[in-house]
């Protein structure tokens, strides 16, 4: 059974710092990996989707990488801003169907 882990559970950084969020998964036979952002009391917003054949995806100040063989993905946020404060979740989609397995998320706070 796929398990997805995100460490750390919470992170606080000063504004302007570059930061990396980590996601690891136990079964490397994935179809894709997605990173989501969740604001308090809200639904999830898809940030980036990396297909299993890809190594990375970029959107603005965000860059997500994928290393299937080691079961890891990272989300890099450049020049962090207070508006980046949210919980970031990663999820992997396995080859067996539509199921997404989610990590527990990293709660990010960017201080002004």
Partner 1 sequence: DGGITQSPKYLFRKEGQNVTLSCEQNLNHDAMYWYRQDPGQGLRLIYYSQIVNDFQKGDIAEGYSVSREKKESFPLTVTSAQKNPTAFYLCASSATGVPYNSPLHFGNGTRLTVT
Among residues 53 and 69, whose Cβ is nearest to partner 1? 53
* Binding-residue pattern over the window 26 to 65 for partner 1, x denoting contact by CB under 8 A: -----xx-x-x----xxxxxx--x-x--------------
Q: Are strands 56-59 and 62-67 parallel, antiparallel or unpaired?
A: antiparallel
Among residues 84 and 103, whose Cβ is nearest to partner 1? 103
Question: What are the φ/ψ torsions at residue 27 (nearest 5 degrees)?
Answer: -110, 115
Sole residue written with tokens 């396995």? 94
All residues at 6 or more sequence positions from 19 whose CB lies less than 8 Å from its CB, including other chains: 11, 13, 76, 77, 80, 108
Of positions 9, 78, 79, 109, contacts partner 1 by CB under 8 A: 9
Rounded to the nearest whole angstrom, what is the least distance from the CB of residue 16 to partner 1 in the complex?
Answer: 28
Calpha distance 12→109 (Å, rounded): 5
Binding site for partner 1 (CB under 8 A): 4, 9, 31-32, 34, 36, 41-46, 49, 51, 89, 91, 93, 97-105
């Amino acid at each position: 059974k796929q398990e997805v882990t995100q460490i750390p559970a919470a992170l606080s950084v000063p504004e302007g710092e570059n930061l990396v969020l980590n996601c690891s998964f136990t079964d490397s036979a994935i179809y894709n990996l997605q990173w989501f952002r969740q604001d308090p009391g809200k639904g999830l917003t898809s940030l980036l989707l990396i297909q299993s054949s890809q190594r990375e995806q970029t959107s603005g100040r965000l860059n997500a990488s994928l290393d299937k063989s080691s079961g890891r993905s990272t989300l890099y946020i450049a020049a962090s801003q207070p508006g980046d404060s949210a919980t970031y979740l990663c999820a992997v989609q396995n080859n067996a169907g539509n199921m997404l397995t989610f990590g527990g998320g990293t709660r990010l706070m960017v201080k002004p």
